[in-house]
Amino acid sequence: VHNLRLVMNEIFGEENFVAQISVQSNPRGRQSEKFFATVHEYLIVYAKNINLCSIVGAALSEDQIKDFKFEDDKGKYRLLGLRQRGAASRRVDRPLMYFPIYVDPKTNKVSLEKNKEYHNEVFPKKSNGEDGRWMWSSKKVVANIDSIEARLISHRDEYDVFVRDYLEKDGEERYRKINTIWIDKEVNNQNGTVELKVLFDDKKFFDFPKPTGTAKKILSVVDVDDEAIILDFFAGSGTTAQAVMELNKKDGGNRKFILVQMPEQCDENSEAYKAGYKTIADIAKERIRRVIQKIKKEKAEKPDLF
């Protein structure tokens, strides 16, 4: 993977590197290996221009949605501490982000100006007593003052300051960032073997085909419209083609795919060769035909689902 990163850096520029993802493709691990049982593969993500790159993210889970337990006229929200946590969270890291915020104890509203109503002074203090800093500048606090509130922390008998983080933004439910470790069952390589055997009447014509679940997840992460053209330059058994067609079936999209596969010869003793598939490309083309027929049959049987 490190060699691939170097090659990709030369082609795309290292500034356009987006992420390196570990995909748990074999949960049991390859027991035939000498020292460790490898359970994962790598997915390398680059953009042609990282400034134009858009990653969609994933829908929030039910448990994550439950975190948004408060509601006002703007919708459901959760409270996030305004004090910076983690890296660069000390006063010395960003001195200009250390300043007092004043609380009106009757309304829990805040202000940067002290007066008769706003008189409880709050500084960003870390749990160890050290001076911290706010995650927003004073200018940003003023600009977003309506979304900031204070809460009395009873066990500390002091106020802390929070920002309202809304579930919906611009009328759409928010997404969460995709993790760089994929452990979903759908990305298990065993699924790829099963999917291909189902299409080819329970015969094994291809070793280690990728599962459509992995391809679908990749396509769902990238912010492209449903008219996109998907290029797979190492098509193999044609997983990408099946994934694109099944996504179109699911949401009515009109995505297109281009597959490139050298006519690599199948072993003459293999089941695929004996069945008439002389090259890997022949297997991929037949897979595409069978997926098309499968979708047509499903459409004829259950037109209401399309």
Give the span between the Cα atoms of 124 and 126, in whole angstroms: 7
The residue type found at 159 is Y
If we measure between CA atoms, which residue out of 91, 89, 72 comes closest to residue 81?
A: 89
Contacts of 296 (CB under 8 A, 6+ apart): none
End-to-end distance of the chain based on CA atoms, in angstroms? 41
Query: What pLDDT was estimated at residue 170?
Result: 78
Comparing CA positions, the residue from 163, 164, 81, 93 lying closest to residue 127 is 81
Reported as a single tens digit per residue, the pLDDT across 92-142 is 999 999 999 999 999 999 999 999 999 999 999 998 989 999 999 999 999
Extract the runs of DSSP E, i.e. beta strands, from the chain. 17-24, 40-46, 58-59, 70-72, 75-81, 101-103, 110-111, 120-122, 148-153, 158-166, 168-169, 172-173, 175-176, 181-182, 229-232, 256-259
pLDDT of residue 217: 92
- Give the model's pLDDT for residue 215: 94
Give the whole-angstrom CA distance, residue 38 versus residue 160: 46
Other CB atoms within 10 Å distance of the CB of residue 104: 16
CA-closest candidate to residue 205, choices 290, 263, 265, 277: 277
Residue that is written with structure tokens 């912010």 in the block:
223
Instruction: Give the pLDDT confidence score for residue 176 in this predicted structure.
Output: 86
CA torsion sign for 10, 12, 18, 19 is negative
Q: Which residue has the tokens 């408060």?
A: 70
Q: Per-block average pLDDT, block size 10, for the chain (306 residues)? A: 97 96 94 94 95 85 90 93 93 96 96 95 93 96 95 90 91 86 93 93 90 92 82 94 93 92 93 93 95 91 72
The 8-class DSSP code of residue 155 comes to T
- CA dihedral sign of residues 225, 216, 202, 236: positive
* Structure tokens belonging to residue 189: 């390589």
What pLDDT, on the 0 to 100 scale, is given for residue 223? 67
